[in-house]
Amino acid sequence: MTDYGDESPRFVCHECIGDTYLKAEIQREEKRQGCMICGKKRNRAIAFDEVCERIHDIVNQEFQLTASEPESWAPYKEADIGWDREGETIDEILYEILQCDQPLIDALKEALSEEHHSFDDAAAGEEDPYGDEVHYELCKPNDYEFHDMWSAFESEIRTRARFFSSKAESALDEIFGDLARFWTPSRPLVREVGPGSATELLYRARRAVDNAEIARIVEHPARELGAPPPQAAGSGRMNPRWISMFYGAFDPDTCVSEIRAPVGSAVVIGKFTIIRKLTLLDLDALQNLFVKNASFFDPEFRRLRDKARFLKRLVLIMSRPILPTDEDYHYLPTQAVAEYISEKMVPQLDGLIFPSSQRGGKGENVVLFRRASSVEPDGSDKLEMETDFGWSTEDNPDLDITVWTKKKRIRQRAKNPRGLDPFDEEWSDPRENLTGRPDLTQDPREEAALRVDLHTIEVRDIQEVKYTATIRTVHRHESTIGKMDY
């Protein structure tokens, strides 16, 4: 071993170590020691033997040796090419762990080799785990613990306690409780949309089976294309029945795909401007998470790395296609997750972005929680309307739809006993229209977040549905045995 003097024990100062976690830990030490690497005696330091022990534990737990030779040399000899061992050298591994200069790496290799590779090991042909020839690769994260936790959560929500479950809440606390410990390299985990941002528009679509339904939607787009009133809100991927949310997308084609309109029906699409700042959690960004300030010396590092792997899988679970007959059962876990994110995450979020299952992940869906789903009234309830669908022939197709409007005339009626006319604005509930259906486009408790564009409403007549499929072949084999063995 290289002679670093007679000091015993030896120490390494914080300036010779680049890993921020270990450096901060060393700087909390009260005593100052002389450093065996840089020779300075005024810095706080850590015992060299302790560094060796912790490095050995990290190498054993987080890395694995790669094969020292290929399974067969024949292909390489026939092709007359060389074979390169996979992985990184021990020098590269030690630098990745410690972020230190070569003198400390050399000292660690020498000390660890003496400690963990004996003369007998060498005589038996065993590879020196800290020799110059070895290569390592990082062990794959193990997310089985989180997967089991998710499976137990699904079972709890579906079969035991749906509304008040401390077990389910604890599971979600564990899964989503420390997202601030992660970062994403290519896209933000939390995306701001609205005025002044790169995203100011959302689209929402509704199916219509006939012209009467189309007319009702295009005449009252804020009410009919906005989030439904609670009593009309059905169960969705992110909301239980009677909990109203706004489902939309960043492009109209994704909207059409998601509502799965049958051939012969029509789809009415509205464009909405986001009129106040909203913060949305991008679930798709969870597929590319990295631990912030990652350090192998952080006792939480392995758990966070395992969680990052699980969250990648969770995005696929939450956005997978579900048959309409199975929606009520399979949507329960994702509904609980959405409610947890809406009510418990800090800082408060306004909604979620998640990949479109109907477009193979190419489009992005958006769900806005109730506090962010109010639509600014469009004034249509103060107008009399008539919708003209034109007159088409084979020689002269007229596909345009025209909505004719004029202000409502004030009807003269006998005053009621209270002295107010039921058709007078001062008497009537401003959230009731003449059809008797409540107009809940804007929740009075929440500031409007969306404004429908009355001049860009589009109606698409569905003429064809295309499918992309994976073909699986079925094989049959006749057994020559009289009775098949199981």
pLDDT digits (tens, 9 = 90+) for 188-234: 999 999 999 999 999 999 999 999 999 999 999 999 999 998 888 88
Predicted confidence (pLDDT) at residue 440 exceeds the cutoff of 50:
no
pLDDT digits (tens, 9 = 90+) for 101-133: 999 999 999 999 999 999 888 888 899 999 999
Predicted confidence at residue 330, as pLDDT, reads 82
* Strand 190-193 relative to strand 135-138, pairing: unpaired
Domain ranges of the chain: 11-138, 140-409+441-486
pLDDT digits (tens, 9 = 90+) for 247-303: 999 999 999 999 989 999 999 999 999 999 999 999 999 989 999 999 999 999 999
Return the higher-pLDDT residue of 180 and 31. Answer: 180
Residue 437's pLDDT band, with cuts at 50, 70 and 90, is very low
Omega prior to 70 cis, within 30 of 0: no
pTM of the model: 0.77
Predicted confidence at residue 360, as pLDDT, reads 79
Predicted confidence (pLDDT) at residue 421 exceeds the cutoff of 80:
no
* Average model confidence (pLDDT) across the chain: 86
Predicted confidence (pLDDT) at residue 89 exceeds the cutoff of 50:
yes
Q: What is the mean pLDDT of residues 85-89?
A: 93
Q: What angle do CA 324, 363, 216 make, to 5 degrees?
A: 60
Cα separation, 34 vs 45, whole angstroms: 8
Predicted confidence at residue 71, as pLDDT, reads 80
Return the percentage of the chain with pLDDT > 70, whole number.
Answer: 88
pLDDT digits (tens, 9 = 90+) for 39-68: 988 778 999 999 999 999 999 999 999 998
Predicted confidence at residue 277, as pLDDT, reads 97
Q: What is the mean pLDDT of residues 151-172?
A: 86
Predicted confidence (pLDDT) at residue 394 exceeds the cutoff of 80:
no
